[in-house]
A and B are shown apart, each in its own frame.
Chain A
């Protein structure tokens, strides 16, 4: 089955550091990838939609300059949390679609736990 790999799985860093998270589709080409954030004991909230070769679309309330998304190829999207602060600590999960509006489920990565000290 389709596999989405997310790296790193866990990162701890100091406040003010920028952190890059990678999301790769290993055995399919993903025209669209999604980035979600999950706070403890809460559900997933969509942050942005990443389309290959074009600018990402951000959900209301998500700072574009804070969360930089790049989708340079059909198998890789990256999320960079710039100048991270403790309130950015969360679980970040990506998902990928191989075809828009298909009746196939999205494929999710295993998530990245980000802890900002």
Chain B
């Protein structure tokens, strides 16, 4: 059974810092890995999707990497801004997504 873990559970950093969020999964036979953003009381916004054959994806200040052999993915956020404050979730799967617990990120002005 696939299990997804995200570390840390919460992170607070000053504005402008670069930061890394971690995601690990137990079964390397994944189809896709996705990173989502969730604002309080809201649904999910898809940030990046990495196919199993890919190593990384980039969108603006965000870069996500995937290492299937070690069962890990990282989400790198450059030059963080207060508007980046949210919970970040990673999920693996093709249709039925298995989610991690999320990392609650706070960017302090």
Q: Choose among B45, B95, B97, B100 the residue that contacts A101 (Cβ–Cβ < 8 A).
A: B95
Chain B positions within 8 Å of A, measured between CB atoms, are 31-32, 34, 36, 41-46, 49, 51, 89, 91, 94-102
| Chain A interface size range | 20 to 34
The interface residues of chain A, by DSSP majority, are classed as strand
If A43-B102, A113-B41 touch, whether A105 touches B95 (CB-CB below 8 Å) is no
Q: Can you list, as one digit per residue, whether each of A57-83 has a CB less than 8 Å from chain B (1) or not (0)?
A: 000000000000000000000000000
If A101-B31, A105-B34, A105-B49 touch, whether A6 touches B96 (CB-CB below 8 Å) is no
A-B CB contacts (within 8 Å), total count: 55
Whole-angstrom CA separation of A103 from B97 in the bound complex? 13
- CB-nearest residue of chain B relative to A42? B101
Give, as a whole number of angstroms, the nearest-CB distance from B89 to chain A: 7
- CB-nearest residue of chain B relative to A10? B41
B49 touches A43 (CB 8 A): no
B101 touches A49 (CB 8 A): no
Whole-angstrom CA separation of A90 from B102 in the bound complex? 17
Chain A positions within 8 Å of B, measured between CB atoms, are 6, 32, 34, 42-46, 49, 91, 93, 95, 97, 100-101, 103-111, 113
Q: Give the chain B neighbours of A108 by CB distance below 8 A.
A: 36, 43-46
- CB-nearest residue of chain B relative to A111? B43
Give, as a whole number of angstroms, the nearest-CB distance from A91 to chain B: 8
- CB-nearest residue of chain A relative to B102? A43
A46 touches B96 (CB 8 A): yes
Q: Choose among A43, A100, A103 the residue that contacts B99 (Cβ–Cβ < 8 A).
A: A43
B42 touches A44 (CB 8 A): no
If A43-B89, A109-B43 touch, whether A34 touches B95 (CB-CB below 8 Å) is yes
B49 touches A104 (CB 8 A): yes
User: Beyond the given A44-B97, A106-B97, could you list 5 further A-B residue pairs with CB under 8 A, ordered by the A residue number?
Assistant: A42-B101, A43-B101, A49-B95, A110-B42, A110-B43
